[in-house]
Structure 1
């Protein structure tokens, strides 16, 4: 069973990346434009407007799997900043200070820094052509067999 699960790892990572990045980009659009019932930040307002730009742009890059690792690293760092600067001063634990989304996005994006884009990412096209994209692991290169 482990071998079968290992062969699907790139697809699971790819789906994880897509879902997390879509939610992250929507969070940025909500803060940046007031979309989805959110409240927009005034242009240039520190730190909210800049965080929203990172969320939207970083989320879209991670969503399509383009420059996944650097975009996820910057996104993770922005969420760590949000947690420690905005939420943590109110209480220690995320459940107490409303920082659960920031903590979850921070750790999810950090995971993508180490796993890469998985399947379905534009980064894989660069790697397949021998370009400068991220390197695929042996598990990612194996075809899925039934």
Structure 2
């Protein structure tokens, strides 16, 4: 079996699993479900900076990346939010991710950057919309027919 045959399914599964796990973090923090914010079972207070806003980004971007809708822009936003989390929250505590607790922020940052660069793949709503638009586009009129330039 050629490795290229696995590219699309693996890319799709990587995108979907990453998006799903990210949205779980957002849901846990916003609603206190799935163990809640940092395992406390308590939701973050509404509109508090940066926790509530980060959780909102996690929920929305995770959902859209999972679905493969507006994937590149949402992956860039998710990656940037995790870079912010790493450098503002974790890195001041210690230099290395293993000692500052920033492993998850670092890996999410790079995972979403990879998704932004690679795109959503064929198994995404973005790709389905693109295919629908290309089949719905009217064909150009032949030269010399009415309505052609």
What interval of TM-score do these two structures reach, taking the shorter chain for normalisation?
A: 0.7 to 0.9
**Off by >4 Å, runs of 4+ in structure 1:** none
1:126 shift after superposition? 1.7
* Larger relative contact order (Cα-Cα within 8 Å, sequence gap ≥ 6): 1
5+ residue gaps, structure 2, are 38-42, 135-149
* Mapped contact 1:21–1:62 kept (Cα < 8 A): yes
Q: Does 1:81 align with 2:84?
A: yes
Q: How many residue pairs end up in the alignment?
A: 129
Whole-Å separation in 2 of the counterparts to 1:115 and 1:73:
12
SS of 2:93's equivalent in the other structure is coil
Paired residue for 2:35?
37
* Mapped contact 1:12–1:118 kept (Cα < 8 A): no
1:94 to 75, 84, 97: 97
Residues 53-132 of structure 1 mapped to structure 2, 5 A cutoff: 53-130=56-133
TM-score by length of 1: 0.85
1:128 shift after superposition? 1.2
2:10 to 3, 9, 12: 12
TM-score by length of 2: 0.83
